[in-house]
Amino acid sequence: MPGGASGSSEQRSGADWTYNIEENRYKLAVLEDKQILTVPLRRSLDVIRKLHGNGDTVTFPIPDAVDRITLKIHNLPNEPGQLLRLIDEVFERRNEDFDLNEVYNDFVRAHGRVLLDIKESWPHCYVHTKFPT
């Protein structure tokens, strides 16, 4: 069932069921906006960042609190697992493949990393790189 609803035909025809379907459609439609889609992608990358050795060194230009508020404004969940499910649905609706590792690599190329070069004195030892290899 779309929107995760299941049960008898009586339950499926009720106002709650209809509201849940419409709310899910709205969330998916909102996520198709590129500016909104990048917010849950950044939030979902927290899962991937923990798996990569240098995942925490990816720098994003927007504070995490701003992303959380943006998601709340659009009635989207803040939990990465729930966001990933919605993102999967968006890509599936448009017959596009979704690979979180590829998205992670794109974010690294776009936003860069902060590296530590111990041969340099502070603050020059922190080098912000774009397009790291």
> Which pLDDT tens digit goes with each residue over 15-49?
777 778 888 888 888 888 888 888 888 887 776 67
What's the pLDDT score for residue 7?
52
**Lookup: tokens for 107:** 């974010």
For 89, phi and psi rounded to 5 degrees?
-65, -40
Classify burial at 8, counting beta carbons within 10 Å of its beta carbon; exposed 0-12, middle 13-18, buried 19 or more.
exposed
Contacts of 46 (CB under 8 A, 6+ apart): 80
Can you give the pLDDT at residue 44?
A: 78
pTM: predicted TM-score of the whole model, two decimal places: 0.64
Domain spans of the chain? 11-129
pLDDT (0 to 100) of residue 97: 92
- DSSP letters for 19-77: HHHHHHHHHHHHHTSHHHHHHHHHHHHHHHHHHSTTGGGB--SS-HHHHHHHHHHTT--
Q: For residue 93, which of 18, 7, 30 has the smallest C-alpha distance?
A: 30
Digitized pLDDT (tens) for each residue of the chain, 133 residues in all: 444 545 555 556 677 777 788 888 888 888 888 888 888 888 877 766 766 666 666 667 778 888 889 999 998 998 888 888 899 999 999 999 988 888 887 877 777 666 666 676 666 655 555 544 4
Show the tokens assigned to 80: 């990465």
Q: What is the dihedral of CA 29, 31, 32, 35, to 10 degrees?
A: 130
